[in-house]
Homo-oligomer: A and B are copies of this chain.
C-alpha cells in the first residue's frame, strides 16, 4: 500500500538534499562566500571589495552582490554624493550563515589530506574500484 507515489525521489533524502541545494544555489557561486565574509566585517565600498578579493572582475562582483542583495543576505546603501558612494553590509540572515559555513570549512580542513590521497590513488590506478569475488 505504500505505492502510488508521484515524487520518485526518496522523501528522507529529499528532506535534507532539497534545503541543502537551496543554500548552495545562493552561496555556490565562485565568489559568493568571499563576498559574504568580506561584507560581514562591516560596511564595505564597491572598490574596496574589488581590491580585497583577488581576481574578481567588476562584472562578477556586481552580479554576485545583486544576487546576494536579492536573497536578503546583503544590504546596499547608496549615498547621493558626487562622486557616487555605495556601501554593502551583511544582514542578520547572512550572519547566521557563518557557523554552518564554518562547519563545512572544518570538514574541509580536517580532510584535505584524505581527499588529496584519494584523488592521487584514483588518478594513479585505473580508478580504485574494488572487485568483489
Copies in the complex: 2
Interface residue? A127 (CB, 8 A): yes
> In the complex, A44→B122 CA distance in Å?
21
Pairwise interchain contact B115-A93, C-beta atoms closer than 8 A: yes
> In the complex, A37→B96 CA distance in Å?
25
Pairwise interchain contact A7-B54, C-beta atoms closer than 8 A: yes
**Given A23-B107, A103-B103, A130-B75: A123 in contact with B9 (beta carbons within 8 A):** no
Chain B proximity of A79: nearest CB distance (Å) = 5
Pairwise interchain contact B102-A96, C-beta atoms closer than 8 A: no
Closest to A38 in B: B13
Pairwise interchain contact B107-A96, C-beta atoms closer than 8 A: yes
**Given A10-B38, A76-B129, A132-B78: A104 in contact with B23 (beta carbons within 8 A):** yes
Q: Which residues of B contact A1 (CB under 8 A)?
A: none
Chain B proximity of A23: nearest CB distance (Å) = 5
Closest to A105 in B: B19
Q: Which residues of B contact A58 (CB under 8 A)?
A: none
> In the complex, A115→B69 CA distance in Å?
10
Interface of A toward B, CB cutoff 8 Å = 7-10, 12-13, 16-17, 19-24, 26-28, 30, 33-34, 37-38, 51-55, 66, 69-72, 75-80, 93, 96-97, 99-112, 114-115, 117-119, 122-123, 127-133
